[in-house]
Copies of this chain bind each other. A is one copy, B any other.
Amino acid sequence: MNRLNEQAQGVYVIALTPFTETGELDLDSTDRMVDFYLERGATGLTVLGMMGEAQKLTIEESRTYVRRILRRVDGRVPVVAGVSAAGFAQMQALTTMVMDDGAAGVMIAPPSSLRNDQQIVTYFRQAAEFIGDTPFVLQDFPLVTSVTIPVSVIQAIVDEVPTCVCLKHEDWPGLSKITALRKLSDAGESRRISILCGNGGLFLPEEMARGADGAMTGFAYPEMMRDVVHFHRIGERDRAQDIFDAYLPLARYEQQPGLGLAIRKYIMARRGAIATPALRKPGGALSPADIADIERLVARQENRLKEIG
């Protein structure tokens, strides 16, 4: 049985939610996308995340979508589901639903109303009570949540809540936070949990060097993350960085607030991973100039990858 734990590593791809041109769930594309991710090195998938248009689905659609993902994955890698919700009862219901269907764990981001250390610790303690023994990922994403979680608070949560097994690190970029957390666990002062990094992978080489275990993000070229993690692991840090640098111009372009998801879907459709780049309303739309930018960056990226071999 796949159950998320402190050893999570590699590349947990934040999965897209494919739609048809008319805005329906595209389940065939969902299958194809799962294969695409796994063939390119995903060691896990994360669904219903902020960049997965989760908030645009009804509960019934969420269930249909997650079940389809789980069936296609068929136990090959663990699947984590975002269950952040306005209330604990909803979070609990969503957790029960996805865990019953075979998910490996859930992911929880703090609500933006939290404003001090004690509120944050209390929130995660209460959330953990509601979801029982389900292992969870603590999503630390201040740019979106506007909640800043200091190292001491993460440590307090890890100490008090044994089901917190992983940190989705996207305190932008917060390299020193990784360093501090690893120092604490190396010194035996805190349980060592998995740290997987977000932010579109834009700081992945440096994050790996600080002690991260991998990536949890959705850049349309998962092979970049796979290779950076791999070459870092085997000590070839320059090789890791060469590959990263080749993808960086496009990764940077994809990481634009507001437009990023439309760009990501465009590339995924272009690569054949999904049938169409359609977003559900409200969603950004690419202009011809945007598409020209992407095509140019993709062509340059391919050239550069050939150059570095």
Which A positions have Cβ atoms within 8 angstroms of B? 53, 55-61, 86-90, 92-93, 115-119, 122-123, 126, 142, 146-150, 152-153, 172-173, 175-176, 179, 202-203, 206, 209-210, 238, 241, 244-245, 248-249, 252-253, 256-257, 259, 280-282, 287, 289-290, 293, 300, 304
Nearest CB of B to A87, in Å: 4
Residue from the set A87, A89, A238, A290 with the largest chain B CB neighbour count within 10 Å: A89
Complex contact A172–B61 (CB within 8 A): no
Give chain B nearest CB distance to A256 CB in angstroms: 6
Known: A58-B90, A249-B248, A280-B87. A293 touches B206 (CB 8 A): yes
Tell me which residues across on chain B come within 8 A of A117, comparing CB atoms: 116-118, 150
Complex alpha-carbon distance, A150 and B203, angstroms: 31
Chain B residues in 8 Å Cβ range of A90? 55-59
B116:A55 contact, CB within 8 angstroms: no
- Smallest beta-carbon distance A66→chain B, Å: 15
Set of chain B residues within 8 Å of A146, measured between Cβ atoms: 115
Copies in the complex: 4
The answer to whether A115 and B148 have CB atoms under 8 Å apart is yes
Identity of the chain B residue whose Cβ is nearest the Cβ of A238 in the assembled complex:
B300
Question: Is B300 within 8 A of A175, CB to CB?
Answer: no
Contact A56 B257, beta carbon cutoff 8 Å: no
Question: Other than the known A88-B280, A172-B257, what 5 A-B pairs have Cβ atoms closer than 8 Å?
Answer: A56-B88, A57-B87, A59-B90, A117-B150, A209-B293
Assembly CA distance A59 to B96 (angstroms): 14
Q: Does the CB pair A118–B152 fall under 8 Å?
A: yes
12 pairs, A vs B, C-beta closer than 8 Å: A55-B90, A58-B90, A58-B92, A58-B93, A60-B93, A88-B281, A116-B149, A117-B118, A119-B150, A203-B252, A206-B253, A238-B300
